[in-house]
């Protein structure tokens, strides 16, 4: 499975101290069927714990996710900042999922090359920033 994060999410993760290892853990839980919220249309919400704390009071991440295919981290927020997503946001994420999963290998490489997305490496020795 290939895992990516958008340019916006890269900044969010850096500001909040979310590591690629934490993202990989969230993807691994989803791959094992432990999805915190399936929002439909290949959009899920996964919780990520704050460092040295539990997941319940941590971060919420929106991931475009297809089992055994790809995952894209596209949005995140601290639980303390907001309760949930607005309907228009959810519609936008579902539309984005259609677009992202519709990318062929050439378009995916171009998005990586331009920095629109960054690949997350599961190997902790080779974690992208």
pLDDT band at 128 (very low <50, low <70, confident <90, very high): very low
Q: Does residue 89 belong to any structural domain of this protein?
A: yes
- More confident call, 48 vs 127: 48
pTM of the model: 0.88
pLDDT at res. 129? 33
Which pLDDT tens digit goes with each residue over 22-76?
999 999 999 999 999 999 999 999 999 887 676 667 899 999 999 999 999 999 9
Percent of the chain with pLDDT over 90: 77
Three-class secondary structure assignment of the chain: CEEEEEHHHHHHHHHHCCCHHHHHHHHHHHHCCCCCEEEECCEEEEEECCCCCCCCCCEEEEEEECCCCEEEEEEEEECCCCCCCCHHHHHHHHHHHHHHHCCCHHHHHHHHHHCCEEEECCCHHHCCC
Tell me the residue range of the domain where 60 lies.
Answer: 2-121
Q: Does residue 127 belong to any structural domain of this protein?
A: no
The number of distinct structural domains making up the chain is 1
- More confident call, 73 vs 128: 73
CB atoms within 10 A of CB 78: 12
Q: Does residue 104 belong to any structural domain of this protein?
A: yes
Q: Does residue 12 belong to any structural domain of this protein?
A: yes
- Asked whether 62 and 85 are in contact (CB, 8 A), the reply is yes
pLDDT band at 123 (very low <50, low <70, confident <90, very high): low
Q: Does residue 126 belong to any structural domain of this protein?
A: no
Q: Does residue 74 belong to any structural domain of this protein?
A: yes
């Amino acid at each position: 499975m290939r895992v990516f994060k958008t340019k916006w999410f890269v900044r969010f993760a850096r500001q909040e101290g979310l590591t690629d290892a934490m993202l990989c853990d969230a993807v691994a839980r989803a791959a094992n069927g432990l999805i915190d919220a399936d929002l439909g249309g290949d959009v899920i919400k996964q919780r990520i714990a704050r460092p040295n704390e539990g997941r319940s009071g941590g971060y919420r991440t929106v991931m475009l996710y297809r089992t055994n295919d790809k995952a894209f981290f596209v949005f995140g927020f601290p639980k303390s900042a907001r309760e949930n997503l607005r309907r228009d946001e959810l519609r936008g994420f579902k539309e984005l999922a259609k677009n992202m999963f519709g990318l062929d290998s050439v378009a995916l490489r171009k998005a990586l090359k331009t920095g629109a997305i960054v690949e997350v490496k599961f190997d902790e020795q080779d974690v992208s920033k």
